[in-house]
Structure 1
Amino acid sequence: MTQPRRRGPRHAEAERNDQALLRAAREVLAADGAHASVAAIAARAGVGIGSLYRRYRTKEELFQRLSALSMERWNQAAERGLADPDPWSGLAGFIADCVEFGQGTLAPIAGTIEVTEEMRAAAARGDGLLDALVARARDAGVLRPDVTAVDISLLIEQYGASPLVDQVRAQGRDDLAEAASAARARLLAIALDGLRPGPARPLPGDPPSPRLFTERWAPRPAS
């Protein structure tokens, strides 16, 4: 019987680099859109530009891999949702996981890169998993009957690419980061309650402070 090949340190490092690049790409894409540069992504990820190009021959190839990894994370979140015995908890947990992961921030590169077979297969699988999550929640009577899988996908995209969270991160406002994330979680809870046919649930955490708006407009002191 053939023994499974062990993955060595090089493979582990490559996986870590891919995850770092995915996180960095979301942050850079959120700020720069489809014009995000490979150099900016590499710098944000802490990976040398030479090392990046040894792994990815072109910017398109990098974005294709980042897209495929994003779809994998989507599918993993959906599988966790389906494994939850509670239909509503499974669906809501899937949405929250994808929003927290920043699923919507890769949207700017849609239509700018060629869709690979890997991407197409992962997307098709993701569509099936989401359809199953939605159908199960609808059959259990915990999801509005007029809510579709596309509605859920668009909701994730809108909340995953959060202007508030992205701006606070881009400004380096660590003092506002927690409040911004809490505010997004609160707004997501409002949106999730809108998906349910029953009464609204209490919102998590405290109401967001007005300083999230006022202090973002204040001039930064010179360093």
Structure 2
Amino acid sequence: MTDSRPRGRRQAEAERNDRALLQAAREVLAADGAHASVAAIAARAGVGIGSLYRRYRTKDELFQRLSALSLDHWNAAAERGLAADDPWEGLAAFITACVEFGQGSLSPIAGAIEVTEKMRAKSDRGDELLDALVARAREAGALRPGVTAVDVSLLVEQLGTSPLLDQLRRQGRDDLLDEAAGARARLVAIAVDGLRAVHAEPPPGHAPTRRLYTERWRRRPEPAG
């Protein structure tokens, strides 16, 4: 049977389904990690398994798409930060935008999917942009001594998930979501303030290397059966 609906309507519905699938995948990943099932993602999105597989041939392909979109958001936020007149405000706005987007929610799939050439190119561009943001804030005397771009990346990842909000959503406690979101925003502001140059002492310990942040994304071999 052919679909008699106008082409524009079919396309709009496909785009809505895709957005729902991507949002559902992000939410299920936050709850279930790399073991998130396709069935759970489709159910969360309110679409059938067939609809998911018509758009994404495999779960890996879905997660690769999600990762590419996340990298696009990171890079766009960094470019906006570099365009800001004030170097500190630009860096702080970048961190806040990435945290609010939930960049850290994809960390469970690190090492579980193949990193495509397109993903790698976007990631390399993101590294360049963040290096420039951090260098600009440092040259302006606005950044705490010893803080590196990798520190910022890891901070975004840690703040990009909210166990409290995830728990309340699972419990269906919509009455507490606004208060929890406000509490999270306060914590993000406190953490970002810790990067300011008014804190004269560098962070404790040795600065993490970029290898610590990126090596996790090398795909792990499947365990022997």
Report the TM-score, using the length of structure 2 for normalisation.
0.80
Quick one: distance in 1 between partners of 2:94 and 2:10? 32
Give the unaligned 5+ runs of structure 2.
Answer: 1-7, 200-225
- 1:187 is matched with 187
- 1:5 is matched with none
- 2:95 is matched with 95
1:105 positional shift = 0.8
- 1:105 is matched with 105
8 Å Cα contact 1:22/1:69 also seen in 2: no
The residue correspondences of 1:12-161 to structure 2 (distance < 5 A) are 13-161=13-161
SS in 2 for 1:113: coil
- 2:210 is matched with none
Quick one: distance in 1 between partners of 2:61 and 2:131? 29
- Identical-pair percentage: 78
SS in 2 for 1:77: helix
Alpha-carbon RMSD: 1.6
Paired residues, number = 192
8 Å Cα contact 1:21/1:66 also seen in 2: no
8 Å Cα contact 1:101/1:160 also seen in 2: yes
8 Å Cα contact 1:99/1:160 also seen in 2: yes
Give the unaligned 5+ runs of structure 1.
Answer: 1-7, 200-223
SS in 2 for 1:147: coil
Quick one: distance in 2 between partners of 1:124 and 1:9? 38
1:21 positional shift = 2.4
Quick one: distance in 2 between partners of 1:13 and 1:126? 32
Check 1:92–1:10 CA distance in 2 against 1; reply closer, same or farther (3 A cut).
farther
1:10 positional shift = 5.6
1:38 positional shift = 1.2
Check 1:168–1:144 CA distance in 2 against 1; reply closer, same or farther (3 A cut).
same
8 Å Cα contact 2:21/2:52 also seen in 1: no
Task: With a CA cutoff of 8 Å and minimum separation of 6, indicate the structure with the bigger relative contact order.
Answer: 2
1:49 positional shift = 1.6
Report the TM-score, using the length of structure 1 for normalisation.
0.81
Quick one: distance in 2 between partners of 1:48 and 1:57? 14
- 2:3 is matched with none
Check 1:88–1:171 CA distance in 2 against 1; reply closer, same or farther (3 A cut).
same
Quick one: distance in 2 between partners of 1:78 and 1:103? 13
